[in-house]
Amino acid sequence: MRGLRVLLDANVLVDAQVRDLFCHFAEAGLIDIRWSAQVLDETRRALIGRLGLDAARVDRLLAALDRAFPEAAVVGFDEVVEEIDLPGP
């Protein structure tokens, strides 16, 4: 059974407990998680700038996420972004 596909935004990836919960759900096959390079960049900026984490530590975390979920990277969506009407940027 294929799990529900869930796009994780930076606000989810920044919070360690929430991030880990979604990752556990994905490992259990309950959901398919996705993110974009832009989301990972925003996550990196927040972890370093807002939470003050060491850049090397953050880079290791993001690399570990990529290794654990290589299918999570979403690409080729730039042309549809302009068509999406969201309440915020």
**pLDDT for 2 beyond 80:** no
The rounded percent of the chain whose pLDDT value lies above 90 is 79
Residues 6+ apart with CB under 8 A from 46: 10, 14
Angle between helices 37-45 and 55-68 (to 10 degrees): 150
* CA–CA gap between residue 8 and residue 33 (Å, rounded): 7
The tens digit of pLDDT for each residue in 24-67 reads 999 999 999 999 999 999 999 999 999 999 999 999 999 999 99
